[in-house]
């Protein structure tokens, strides 16, 4: 029974109601791609290159074809005619970005789902097997014979740019992928005249995203109709459908993409993957359903990686430490090819290398570089963690230079509070911001002043360990994105989002969203927004997503966009519902529309609140259509598409307190405080959950995670036991709080929270370690992530003059690392 559940003053928005998604997931009734089994289904398995760079001299599949259960084996040449288009890059960067900043050399590599004649990274697909079982497919993969004529490998970005470097894509002549520059203000003059300039180099190791559900795809063809249903563990069912139509040359109406329950993404499932295209090609060619489930070790090679960026970061300042200019030069490792967003990822940080600080000059320059490694793409934060890290590490360097406390240097430079869109140093318009109170709150929760007193009194020691305090603030650019801005930066798609609301005669409500959640709780949050907007109970709201048959329009979930773009589309649809409902209510109550007020979740006659109509009542009359006003169509449903006028700019302050064991280099996190400002909060429980998960990933990035290759381009951290995803035992508890500065970009005032934790936390951790090591004479830029026990120990030894010459933390080392993956590490 529907109940109009809003007593006076009560609103669902802002309440931590329990998730509607949970009962199925808690009882094993969730439906993930691997849970799908279809009659006659074939298993796919891939032959992948074991070498990083080679010509394919021979790919012989004859022996494999003869094995039991094998239905087909195809090489890249066999499938060459299946593709109507190459693997798509949806963000091929600009030829021109800002006026007078020519960047005319973006180069899109030739990239096919199965390599035709050359492989350029370990794990690239060389052939595909279809067999009647997983085991038979695996056996056949072993039987494919490939002769690789190996070519010289290039892994380090700076080496790749050298004149004599092996060229990965011969057509380009060298390994430069693009240059993309942005300048605002008189940068050269400001830096030339500034009394203080700090310059440091930082390196962001390669990261492997690691959602706990591996990727997977099932394709069911209906050959007679030429139709396909694709189940994929993807963040982007709508975009995938469009891309699949392009790559396969199939009418979109013939393709249904379903993202069932998706076990995490973090950007790694925001792509068009070769395996998806191949699965469709084989399902069509063989006329049978096919299935592929990624093995984790396979995924470490085949799923995109994140980060892998070198930054030369500079801040110009006064002698007091007042910031005047920010300037950064990036080298960004593309890996061997461009995936959907590869070249665009560093650009997501392009405007943010001044953080939340004032300045009058700004410059960002990025060069993308091809190397013989797995392609990089979006990993939680995507471009913004890189920017935040550089700014926040460099602010600590500035604090050291001018002799100020790290907190003080930040407080000196915060952009003053603003509640209307305001231009900042990079030229962007931030939506709203009030950074000092957020920072103050974090300091209070951390006990910042007492910690500094303790350090002073103890010489930076606590129980024999080195005590360090690290602060970080951050700014994000979320709510992707205003379509016209995307056009300006040469992204192929727009940034709008769609929603539909249907009010049923029973009083129940169906919401259809174009967002595609995979853990973020949209079903619950969207129900809360709807409940307040229409005066219904969240339990009466069903939210449909992730199936292009029922949700045909949308641009999916990434870049902390869902609430600010998708949530606003929903809000706009609800406004349309209310506008129509008001007309019907006025007619039924025999009053003018202006005499009705929306109050307590219903339309009431002003001055006579007992005369009222609820949305469920109006939905019923709209359905019967017995007595509708003239020119009003039957039914109560509405759709809206929201194209945001601007990005949103969540911000926050994180503080980390560490104790470092000087003998082992182990880092113990004593306290982690995160105060985040994501604007209006719809469901605080979910928002806190997003922050905690994000902070955990950020701490993991700071302390543990690093994908390492040997000099041949073999991934050394090639499985889950050598690449260190931390467990509960290696992570601390978190102290969370928030401030609320509503966005001016959308009527809900929301900014987004999915990536905040991952963006704000790494520099707080690394700054804390640098702070702890400072009494030993360790310089700020001698401390680099991951601050693993080995690396910290080496840094301590080097500072004491007792170390071998090797400094692992030296910036600029990329692929061919000399260190081995850390085995035992710090229990935090």
Quickly tell me which residue has 């005066």 as its tokens. Answer: 535
Q: Which of residues 203-232 bind another protein (CB under 8 A)?
A: 210-214
Given 734, 764, 786, 789, the residue binding another protein (CB under 8 A): 734
- Is residue 584 within 8 A of residue 593, CB to CB? The reply is no
Kindly tell me which of 168 and 523 has the beta carbon lying closer to another protein: 523
Pick from 810, 628, 52, 6: which is nearest to 371 by CA? 52
**Min. distance of Cβ 269 from another protein in angstroms?**
11
Quick one: how many helices (H) and strands (E) in the chain? 19, 29
Q: How far apart are alpha carbons 388 and 435 in whole angstroms?
A: 15
Given 348, 387, 394, 731, the residue binding another protein (CB under 8 A): 731
Q: Which of residues 346-365 bind another protein (CB under 8 A)?
A: none
Q: How far apart are alpha carbons 326 and 313 in whole angstroms?
A: 8
Q: Does 295 bind another protein (CB under 8 A)?
A: yes
Given 92, 507, 519, 813, the residue binding another protein (CB under 8 A): 519
Q: What angle do CA 547, 540, 17 make, to 5 degrees?
A: 95
Q: Does 266 bind another protein (CB under 8 A)?
A: yes
Q: Which of residues 76-135 bind another protein (CB under 8 A)?
A: 135
CA distances (Å), origin 252, targets 242, 277, 388, 545, 641: 6, 14, 40, 18, 20
Q: Does 35 bind another protein (CB under 8 A)?
A: yes
Q: How far apart are alpha carbons 39 and 241 in whole angstroms?
A: 24
Bin 668: left if φ > 0, else alpha if -120 < ψ < 50, else beta.
beta
The three-state DSSP-derived secondary structure of 27-50 is CCCCCCHHHCCCCCCEEEEEEECC
Binding-residue total with another protein (CB under 8 A)? 57
Quickly tell me which residue has 């494919």 as its tokens. Answer: 144
Given 199, 201, 296, 329, the residue binding another protein (CB under 8 A): 296
Q: Which of residues 5-34 bind another protein (CB under 8 A)?
A: 18-19, 21-32, 34
Kindly tell me which of 243 and 293 has the beta carbon lying closer to another protein: 293
Q: Does 275 bind another protein (CB under 8 A)?
A: no
State the pairing for strand pair 54-60/306-317. unpaired
Kindly tell me which of 513 and 583 has the beta carbon lying closer to another protein: 513
Kindly tell me which of 316 and 731 has the beta carbon lying closer to another protein: 731
- Angle 756-773/789-799 helices, nearest 10 degrees? 30
- Angle 568-589/522-534 helices, nearest 10 degrees? 30
Kindly tell me which of 55 and 820 has the beta carbon lying closer to another protein: 820
Q: Does 297 bind another protein (CB under 8 A)?
A: yes
- Is residue 513 within 8 A of residue 570, CB to CB? The reply is yes
Q: Does 720 bind another protein (CB under 8 A)?
A: yes
Kindly tell me which of 670 and 688 has the beta carbon lying closer to another protein: 688
Quickly tell me which residue has 């390669």 as its tokens. Answer: 206
Given 355, 514, 693, 713, the residue binding another protein (CB under 8 A): 693
* Residues forming a β-bridge with 676: 652, 738
Contact map string, positions 596 to 635, toward another protein, x by CB under 8 A = ----------------------------------------
Span interacting with another protein, options 290-298, 470-478, 574-582, 635-643, rule CB under 8 A: 290-298
Given 39, 459, 630, 733, the residue binding another protein (CB under 8 A): 733
Q: Does 166 bind another protein (CB under 8 A)?
A: no
Span interacting with another protein, options 257-265, 328-336, 345-353, 391-399, rule CB under 8 A: 257-265
**Min. distance of Cβ 677 from another protein in angstroms?**
19
- Is residue 373 within 8 A of residue 177, CB to CB? The reply is no
**Min. distance of Cβ 470 from another protein in angstroms?**
18
Pick from 178, 180, 144, 185: which is nearest to 161 by CA? 178
Kindly tell me which of 90 and 650 has the beta carbon lying closer to another protein: 650
Q: Does 639 bind another protein (CB under 8 A)?
A: no
Residue 668 neighbours by CB distance under 10 Å = 14
**Min. distance of Cβ 88 from another protein in angstroms?**
26
Contact map string, positions 376 to 415, toward another protein, x by CB under 8 A = ----------------------------------------
In sequence order, what are the residues at sequence separation of 6 or more whose Cβ sits closer than 8 angstroms to the Cβ of residue 675?
438, 439, 441, 442, 445, 652, 653, 654, 736, 737, 738, 739
Kindly tell me which of 25 and 803 has the beta carbon lying closer to another protein: 25
Span interacting with another protein, options 646-654, 694-702, 788-796, 798-806, rule CB under 8 A: 694-702
For 71, the enclosing helix (H) or strand (E) is strand 70-75
Span interacting with another protein, options 163-171, 322-330, 512-520, 544-552, rule CB under 8 A: 512-520
**Min. distance of Cβ 35 from another protein in angstroms?**
4
Locate 513 and state its tokens: 């969203």
**Min. distance of Cβ 525 from another protein in angstroms?**
12
Kindly tell me which of 36 and 471 has the beta carbon lying closer to another protein: 36
Pick from 778, 781, 810, 816: which is nearest to 665 by CA? 778
Kindly tell me which of 265 and 650 has the beta carbon lying closer to another protein: 265
Pick from 111, 152, 634: which is nearest to 372 by CA? 152
Kindly tell me which of 74 and 672 has the beta carbon lying closer to another protein: 672
Contact map string, positions 134 to 163, toward another protein, x by CB under 8 A = -x----------------------------
Kindly tell me which of 83 and 734 has the beta carbon lying closer to another protein: 734
SS3 for 790?
A: helix
In sequence order, what are the residues at sequence separation of 6 or more whose Cβ sits closer than 8 angstroms to the Cβ of residue 664?
789, 793, 826
**Min. distance of Cβ 544 from another protein in angstroms?**
18
Locate 748 and state its tokens: 């809900």
Span interacting with another protein, options 61-69, 255-263, 277-285, 314-322, rule CB under 8 A: 255-263
**Min. distance of Cβ 37 from another protein in angstroms?**
8
State the pairing for strand pair 306-317/290-293. unpaired
Contact map string, positions 743 to 782, toward another protein, x by CB under 8 A = --------------x-------------------------
- Angle 435-446/448-458 helices, nearest 10 degrees? 50
Kindly tell me which of 138 and 544 has the beta carbon lying closer to another protein: 138
Q: Does 553 bind another protein (CB under 8 A)?
A: no
Given 183, 455, 520, 621, the residue binding another protein (CB under 8 A): 520
Given 262, 395, 675, 759, the residue binding another protein (CB under 8 A): 262
Q: Does 538 bind another protein (CB under 8 A)?
A: no
What is the longest distance spanned by two Cα atoms in the chain?
A: 90
For 474, the enclosing helix (H) or strand (E) is strand 465-475
Residue 284 neighbours by CB distance under 10 Å = 18
Locate 325 and state its tokens: 């200019």
CA distances (Å), origin 250, targets 220, 437, 482, 690: 15, 54, 29, 38
**Min. distance of Cβ 521 from another protein in angstroms?**
7
Q: Does 696 bind another protein (CB under 8 A)?
A: yes
Q: Does 463 bind another protein (CB under 8 A)?
A: no
Residue 99 neighbours by CB distance under 10 Å = 6
State the pairing for strand pair 290-293/216-222. antiparallel
Pick from 438, 362, 361: which is nearest to 407 by CA? 438
Residues forming the site for another protein (CB under 8 A) = 18-19, 21-32, 34-35, 37, 135, 210-214, 261-264, 266, 293, 295-297, 518-521, 685-686, 688-689, 692-697, 719-721, 725, 727-729, 731, 733-734, 757
């Amino acid at each position: 029974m529907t109940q109009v559940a809003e007593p006076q003053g009560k609103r669902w928005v802002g309440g931590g109601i329990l998730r509607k998604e949970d009962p199925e997931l808690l009882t094993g009734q969730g439906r993930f791609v691997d849970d799908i089994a279809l009659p006659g289904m074939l298993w796919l398995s891939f032959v992948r290159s074991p070498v990083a760079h080679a010509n394919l001299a021979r790919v012989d599949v004859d022996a494999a074809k003869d094995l039991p259960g094998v239905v087909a084996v195809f090489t890249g040449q066999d499938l060459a005619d299946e593709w109507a288009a190459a693997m798509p890059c949806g963000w091929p960067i600009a030829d021109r970005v800002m006026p007078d900043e020519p960047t005319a050399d973006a180069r899109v590599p030739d990239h096919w789902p199965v390599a035709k004649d050359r492989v350029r990274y370990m794990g690239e697909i060389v052939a595909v097997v279809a067999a009647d079982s997983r085991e038979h497919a695996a056996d056949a993969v072993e039987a494919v014979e490939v002769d690789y004529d190996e070519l010289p490998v290039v892994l380090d970005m700076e080496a790749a740019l050298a004149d004599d470097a092996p060229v990965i894509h011969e057509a380009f002549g060298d390994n430069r992928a693009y240059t993309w520059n942005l300048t605002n203000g008189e940068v050269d003059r400001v830096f030339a005249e500034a009394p203080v300039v700090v310059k440091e180099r930082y390196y962001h190791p390669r990261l492997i995203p690691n959602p706990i559900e591996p990727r997977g795809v099932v394709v069911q063809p209906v050959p007679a109709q030429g139709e396909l249903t694709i189940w994929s563990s993807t963040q982007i069912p709508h975009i995938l459908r469009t891309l699949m139509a392009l790559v396969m040359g199939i009418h979109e109406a013939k393709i249904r993409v379903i993202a069932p329950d998706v076990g995490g993404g973090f950007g790694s499932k925001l792509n068009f993957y070769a395996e998806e295209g191949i699965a469709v090609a084989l399902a069509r060619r063989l006329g049978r359903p096919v299935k592929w489930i990624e093995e984790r070790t396979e995924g470490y090679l085949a799923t995109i990686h994140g980060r892998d960026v070198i930054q030369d970061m500079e801040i110009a300042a006064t002698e007091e430490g007042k910031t005047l200019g920010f300037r950064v030069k990036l080298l960004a490792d593309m890996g061997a090819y461009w995936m959907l967003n590869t070249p665009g990822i560093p650009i997501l940080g392009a405007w943010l290398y001044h953080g939340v600080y004032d300045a009058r000059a700004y410059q960002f320059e990025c060069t993308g570089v091809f190397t013989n490694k797995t392609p990089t793409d979006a990993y939680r934060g995507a471009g913004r963690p890189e920017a935040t890290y550089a700014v926040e590490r460099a602010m600590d360097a500035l604090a050291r230079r001018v002799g100020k406390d790290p907190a003080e240097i930040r407080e000196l430079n915060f952009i003053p509070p603003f509640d209307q869109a305001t231009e900042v140093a990079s030229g962007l318009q931030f939506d709203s911001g009030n950074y000092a109170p957020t920072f103050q709150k974090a300091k209070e929760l951390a006990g910042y002043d007492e910690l500094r007193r303790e350090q002073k009194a103890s010489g930076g020691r606590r129980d024999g360990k080195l005590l360090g305090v690290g602060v970080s603030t951050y700014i994000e650019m979320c709510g992707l994105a205003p379509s016209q801005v995307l056009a300006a930066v040469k992204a192929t798609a727009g940034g709008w989002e769609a929603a539909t609301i249907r009010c049923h005669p029973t009083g129940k409500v169906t919401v259809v969203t174009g967002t595609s959640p995979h853990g973020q709780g949209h079903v619950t949050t969207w129900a809360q927004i709807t409940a307040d907007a229409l005066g219904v109970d969240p339990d009466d709201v069903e939210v449909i997503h992730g199936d292009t048959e029922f949700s045909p329009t949308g641009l999916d979930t990434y870049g902390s966009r869902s609430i600010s773009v998708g949530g606003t589309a929903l809000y706009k649809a609800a406004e349309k519902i209310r506008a129509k409902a008001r007309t019907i209510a006025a007619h039924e109550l025999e009053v003018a529309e202006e005499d009705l007020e929306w109050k307590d979740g219903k339309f009431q006659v002003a001055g006579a609140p007992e005369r009222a109509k609820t949305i469920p009542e109006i939905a019923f009359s709209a359905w019967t259509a017995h007595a509708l006003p003239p020119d009003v169509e039957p039914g109560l449903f509405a759709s809206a598409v929201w194209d945001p006028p601007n990005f949103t700019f969540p911000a926050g302050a994180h503080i980390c307190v560490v104790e470092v064991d000087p003998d082992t280099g182990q880092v113990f996190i004593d306290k982690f405080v995160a105060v985040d400002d994501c604007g209006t909060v719809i469901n605080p429980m979910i928002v806190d959950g997003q922050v905690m998960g994000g902070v955990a990933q950020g701490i993991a990035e700071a302390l543990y995670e690093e994908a390492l290759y040997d000099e041949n381009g073999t991934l050394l951290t090639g499985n889950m036991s050598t690449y260190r995803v931390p467990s509960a035992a290696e992570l601390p508890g978190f102290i969370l709080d928030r401030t609320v500065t509503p966005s001016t970009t959308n009527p809900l005032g929301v900014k987004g929270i999915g990536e905040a934790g991952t963006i704000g936390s790494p520099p707080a951790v690394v700054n804390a370690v640098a702070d702890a090591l400072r009494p030993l004479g360790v310089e700020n830029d001698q401390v680099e992530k991951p601050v693993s026990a080995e690396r910290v120990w080496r840094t301590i030894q080097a500072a004491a003059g007792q170390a071998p010459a090797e400094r692992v933390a030296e910036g600029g080392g990329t692929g061919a690392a000399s260190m081995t993956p850390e085995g035992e590490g710090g229990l935090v």
